[in-house]
């Protein structure tokens, strides 16, 4: 489906918030797909990394309905392959931060199993905590 890019999209508050939190300029992305090709978890994602960026470029808040940005392993493979130096893992971290700040998370830390390994607990706390 084609989406026209209008002036409202370029001044979208979500786009500005993502840029502020992540430090990434989403307008640099020209959708080459190298980030998705190199992502080790892309086969598990409902939106590929380049699609996440495109949704944000177009100001589509449906990106928050996806589970992909929670799956991001922050391995920085996307940044190493991007010809424009865009780091999608920082964008995914910004999306998680926005969702957590609004307490829109699907999984609550309080519901994690107590027998979870320490590394998993720290990772879950980092990804799922608003602090």
- The length of the chain in residues reads 131
Mean per-residue pLDDT, 50-54: 95
pLDDT, tens digit, 9 for 90 and up, residues 76-106: 999 999 999 999 999 999 998 888 887 655 5
Q: With a cut of 90, say whether residue 128 has pLDDT above it.
A: no
Are the CB atoms for 58 and 3 separated by under 8 Å?
yes
Distance CA 79, CA 63 (A): 20
Q: What kind of architecture, by CATH, is found in domain 7-105? A: Orthogonal Bundle (1.10)
- CA 24, 105, 47, 71 dihedral sign is positive
For the stretch 104-130, what's the b/e string if a residue is b when 16 or more beta carbons lie within 10 angstroms of its beta carbon? ebeeeeeeeeeeeeeeeeeeeeebbee
Neighbours of 3 (CB within 10 A): 12
Q: In this predicted structure, what is the pLDDT of residue 110?
A: 73
The per-residue pLDDT for 12 is 81
Higher-confidence position of 24 and 1: 24
Residue 73 makes CB contacts below 8 A (sequence gap 6+) with: 40, 41, 89
Name the pTM for this structure. Answer: 0.75
């Amino acid at each position: 489906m084609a989406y026209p890019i209008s002036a409202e999209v370029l001044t979208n508050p979500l786009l500005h918030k993502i840029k502020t939190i992540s430090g990434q300029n989403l307008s640099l992305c020209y959708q080459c797909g190298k980030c998705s090709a190199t992502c080790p978890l892309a086969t598990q994602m409902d939106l590929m990394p380049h699609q996440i960026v495109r949704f944000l470029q177009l100001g589509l808040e449906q990106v928050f309905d996806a589970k992909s940005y929670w799956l991001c392993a922050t391995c920085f493979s996307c940044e190493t392959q991007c010809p424009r130096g865009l780091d999608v893992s920082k964008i995914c971290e910004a999306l998680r931060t926005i969702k957590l700040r609004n307490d829109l998370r699907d999984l609550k830390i309080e519901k994690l199993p107590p027998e979870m390994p320490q590394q998993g607990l720290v990772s879950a706390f980092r990804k799922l905590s608003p602090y």
